[in-house]
Amino acid sequence: MDPFLIGLLCLYVAAALGIAIWSLSIRGTRAAQRASRQAGLALPEEPLRGTLVRRLLHTLRWSNCCAAVGALLGVAACLVVIDSELPMPENNGVIWLAFAGFVLGGSAGAVLAVLTARTPDATGRPRIARAARRELGDYLDPFELNGARVMAVLGAIVGGATLAWPSEYIGIPPAVTTLLAATGVIAWAILELGGRYVVLARPRIVESEAELAWDDAFRAADLRRLVTAVLLSTTYAVAFGGFPLVFTALRMFVPDEVVMVSVNVSFYAAMAVLITIVVIATRRDPAHHYLRRLWPTVEAQRQAAAQAAAARYAADAAARNAARKASR
């Protein structure tokens, strides 16, 4: 067994367990401040803050501990694959199985966190609810949601095709590609079913607009965790399975030299496409899609505050520069 691969797997297990231990030991206030920055919402006063912190820690712990369990199962799958003596030109590629286990475990943990959460009892004060039905599109940017759907279908096609028509050219064992694709499809099922019927359907009695906005923030974060699991696991399946599949087919019609050139050109083209997609996705700011959709006034205030902070920072920097020049 490749010592480098064993080292990678050990490092991987340590990292997954480290994340789980970190989530069990993190202080609520720090986690809440982090969540506040990510959600784009100000932290409310007590007693709502305490409720939010408890809910946040509950989700974080379930999600990270399940991710660690998923990672361990993924590592076990890696060891089984390595032990099976399948032909592996690049056996280090199996490490992605462990990573797929991590993201799938995290997404299952997010759904379990919702199922095990206790809904606080109503206090008798006026209660607030949204008049329109909650939809996945309210919480997930269409770029992410549709991207996950397309990738899941693509992953399933590639996984099935790889298993039916194993490539002899490059890549990892077909069984690994199929396992990665299967992970992606399971993650997709968790997103469509768990997201719709657990995360969105979760009842929550809220008594203020701030509480409702935070409830939306939690739902959006949970759903984005599910989408990430789909995108990551299917991307690996498509990358590891799709390329060998296409090039095995190409090899039947064109000489090996041309195939090699095509492999290199396609790799760089795929990297360019991937980087472009990541840039577009980042620029769309999907983490705050729910604010734009459900809380447009809060989003406008957040944008104004961010612009004011940027202007203040620029003015301070200019003043510092001017003072430095003057002191010279």
Q: Which residues here bind other proteins, judged by CB under 8 A?
A: 122, 124, 126-135, 201, 203-206, 209, 212, 294-296
SS3 assignment, position 70: helix
Specify the residue, 58 or 293, whose C-beta has the smaller distance to other proteins. 293
Q: What is the dihedral of CA 250, 251, 257, 263, to 10 degrees?
A: 50
C-beta of 224: minimal distance to other proteins in Å? 21
For residue 47, say if its preceding peptide bond is cis, omega within 30 degrees of 0: yes
Q: Which long-range contacts (CB under 8 A, 24 or more apart) does 249-255 make?
A: 251/169
The H or E element containing residue 100 is helix 95-116
Nearer to other proteins, 99 or 290 (CB): 290
Least gap, CB of 114 to other proteins (angstroms):
13
Give the nearer residue to other proteins in terms of CB position, either 14 or 129: 129
Query: Cβ of 215: how many Cβ atoms within 10 Å?
Result: 18
**Beta carbon of residue 298, minimum distance to other proteins (angstroms, whole number):** 9
- Distance separating alpha carbons of residues 172 and 169, to the nearest angstrom: 10
Nearest approach in angstroms of CB 240 to other proteins is 38
Closest approach of Cβ 135 to other proteins, in Å?
A: 8
User: For residue 106, what are the CA distances in angstroms to 131, 291, 310?
Assistant: 31, 24, 35
Closer of 138 and 141 to other proteins (Cβ): 138
Q: Which is nearer to other proteins, 218 or 243 (CB)?
A: 218
The residue to which tokens 């030991």 are assigned: 25
